[in-house]
């Protein structure tokens, strides 16, 4: 049986290899039917939990960290759901795709922020915030300017920024405890595995319903949940 009967795109074909409206229509026709639903489902509870976190944060610094974390979470899941579930023109698709990819850098920096503000001190705090927000800013500019950058390069940059502050993990363990450290590292590993799957486009279990991109989104949701628990723990310990 030929590839037309398998429900899979032709070998080596990538929707972003085809320019203009033709590429948009091909992606729309071939993308799995569950594309975007995971992030759509994750968005309301992430925002609601973030609002609760902001309201219950015991200090001004904790509220600032919670607000930044919540804002970047809302952007990540909201824009992703809008982009993947909607049907957009060529220009609209390009704008939302840029925002969707750029938001990955923002959620990395936004997740680091509560830990830097509430656990780290002095030079370590300044170094982490400078590295992650400087890296996120550069990453956003990179994705906006080079929408069709190779997947392997984009993934490498995401993972590199995500692990950029690995040198402060001992400080995090001392200041927040082993449970928080475990949750943060677990989330980082899951995000990294998801990024690898995104780059390789494998495994691609059920291409017409739940493909490699849905596996990637599943891992991001679980990773986010693990690190969200860690953010809650450090926020409420800030009193």
Task: Specify which residues 210 forms β-bridges with.
Answer: 206
Nearest alpha-carbon partner for 32 in 208, 205, 214: 208
**pLDDT tens digits, 170-225:** 999 999 999 999 999 999 999 999 999 999 999 988 888 888 889 999 999 999 99
In the chain, where are the structural domains located? 20-236
Please give the structure tokens belonging to residue 66.
């919670």
Please give the structure tokens belonging to residue 208.
């017409």
Helix axes 178-200, 169-176, angle to 10 degrees: 140
**pLDDT tens digits, 9-46:** 443 334 444 444 445 555 555 677 778 788 999 999 99
* 3 CB neighbour count, 10 Å cutoff: 11
Q: How far apart are CA 148 and CA 146, in angstroms?
A: 6
Question: Which pTM was predicted?
Answer: 0.85
Question: Running DSSP on this structure, what letter comes out for residue 202?
Answer: -
């Amino acid at each position: 049986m030929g590839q037309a009967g398998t429900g899979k795109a032709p070998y080596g074909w990538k929707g972003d290899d085809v320019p203009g409206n033709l590429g948009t229509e091909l992606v729309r026709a071939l993308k799995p039917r569950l594309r975007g639903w995971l992030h759509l489902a994750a968005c309301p509870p992430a925002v609601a939990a973030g609002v609760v976190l902001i309201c219950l944060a015991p200090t001004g610094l904790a509220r600032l960290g919670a607000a930044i974390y919540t804002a970047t979470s809302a952007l990540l899941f909201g824009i992703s759901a809008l982009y993947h579930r909607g049907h957009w023109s060529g220009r609209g698709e390009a704008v939302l795709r840029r925002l969707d990819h750029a938001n990955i850098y923002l959620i990395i920096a936004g997740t680091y922020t509560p830990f830097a503000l509430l656990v780290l001190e002095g030079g370590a705090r300044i170094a982490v915030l400078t590295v992650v927000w400087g890296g996120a800013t550069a990453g956003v500019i990179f994705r906006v300017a080079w929408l069709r950058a190779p997947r392997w390069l984009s993934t490498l940059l995401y993972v590199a920024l995500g692990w950029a502050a690995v040198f402060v993990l001992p400080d995090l363990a001392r200041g927040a405890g082993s449970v928080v450290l475990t949750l943060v590292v677990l989330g980082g590993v899951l995000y990294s595995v998801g990024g690898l799957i995104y780059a390789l486009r494998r495994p691609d279990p059920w291409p017409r319903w739940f493909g490699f991109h849905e596996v990637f989104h599943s891992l991001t949701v679980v990773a986010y949940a693990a690190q969200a628990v860690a953010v809650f723990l450090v926020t409420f310990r800030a009193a």
